[in-house]
Amino acid sequence: DLQASVCEFVVKGVKSLDRKACNRYDADYWSGRVYLRGYCMSPGVSFRKSLFSGVHVRGLFRLHKGDMDDVVQWPLNQTVKLRVVHPKGGEERDIVQRPDVSRPYCQRPREGQKKSMFISDPFFPSDDLVRDGYVEDDQLRVKFELLP
């Protein structure tokens, strides 16, 4: 589907991911494969330890060979929008970044090639998400979108 541009997923085990990031620098959570604007990809989030300000939650994606690779434009040249959704009332916060199209993570995937992943520069402070109620029952609701 070339029209679908958004997927939603729930990050489970937020406390554990946060702890792992504190102990090992990072912990990634991947959702299942989806097609967004024709690109086959796995979106996700990365919990990354910062030297000065706790753990940061950043957006991720990894491209995969897909059924529409001959139809979509390469390299991928879409802006990524990552939103966290408040469980009560649906308020959202977002981060937006246009990936660098010259990087391997935007290139057409090839057989046998090591998979590269995009990690956003903008982030959500993990402590803020917990404090402001975005994490409930150890889960975080996320929307991942490709903008034109």
Whether residue 48 is predicted with pLDDT greater than 80 in this model: the reply is yes
Question: 127-141: per-residue pLDDT in tens?
Answer: 999 999 999 999 999
| Complete DSSP assignment for 114-145 | PPPEEE-SS-EEHHHHHHTT-EETTEEEEEEE
pLDDT recorded at residue 12: 98
pLDDT recorded at residue 128: 97
Query: Residue 55's domain spans which residues?
Result: 6-147
| Rg of the chain, C-alpha, whole Å | 15
In a domain, 11, yes or no: yes
Residue of 123 and 114 predicted with greater confidence: 123
In a domain, 1, yes or no: no
In a domain, 88, yes or no: yes
Whether residue 13 is predicted with pLDDT greater than 80 in this model: the reply is yes
pLDDT recorded at residue 1: 65
Please check whether residue 147 is in contact with residue 95, taking contact to mean a CB–CB distance below 8 angstroms.
Answer: no
**Mean pLDDT rounded to a whole number for the chain:** 95
Whether residue 35 is predicted with pLDDT greater than 70 in this model: the reply is yes
Tell me the CATH number at 53: 2.60.210.10
- Identify the three-state secondary structure at position 22: helix
Domain count, the chain: 1
